[in-house]
Amino acid sequence: MDKDVTIILGEQEQGHVILTKQRLSFWGLGCNVIRFDDGNGIIDFLTILRDADFLFDRQYVVVASLSMPRMDGLEVLKAMKQDHDFKNIPVIMLTDGRGGVNIADCLDAGCDTILSLPLKKDAFMHAMVDIGVIQMSPSFS
């Protein structure tokens, strides 16, 4: 990783948050994880970073649930893609299969990939490689 990476995790279910953080640590990803339980928190955080000139100090990846309250993952994605400073931040959408959001809508809105919960190592690591956050190492399995 060329820059420090911070994962902005949008997930309201505490169990999913704990499991996701445990898995990322177990998989050896040394990323910072900042969690928000609704989409408004994600957009507010990115706005604060931009206003303080910290947005470009590191690489951010938004990993957002499709089923968050107040502002769901699809709404976060659309807001990010409409903002000049946020539109190039990679977005990985998470689905637990319960939401009514159409996955095609997420792809049309510009998400980088959609993953099912609970996260699986191969799918997540390949998504991180595809968006250019990590390099595939020979020890990846």
The pLDDT of residue 58:
86
Pair 27, 139: CB distance under 8 Å: no
Parse the chain into domains and list their residue ranges. 11-112
The pLDDT of residue 1:
44
Instruction: Name the region of 70 (left: φ>0; alpha: ψ -120 to 50; beta: rest).
Output: left
In CATH, the number for domain 11-112 is 3.40.50.2300
pLDDT tens profile 73-130: 999 999 999 999 999 999 999 987 665 567 888 999 999 999 988 889 999 999 999 9
Model pTM score: 0.89
CA distance 41 to 119: 22
The pLDDT of residue 61:
96
Nearest to 34 by CA among 57, 73, 8, 5: 8
Tally the C-alpha atoms within 13 A of residue 37's C-alpha that lie toward its C-beta: 6
Bigger pLDDT: 2 or 42? 42
Pair 2, 54: CB distance under 8 Å: no
Which amino acid appears at position 2 of this protein?
Answer: D
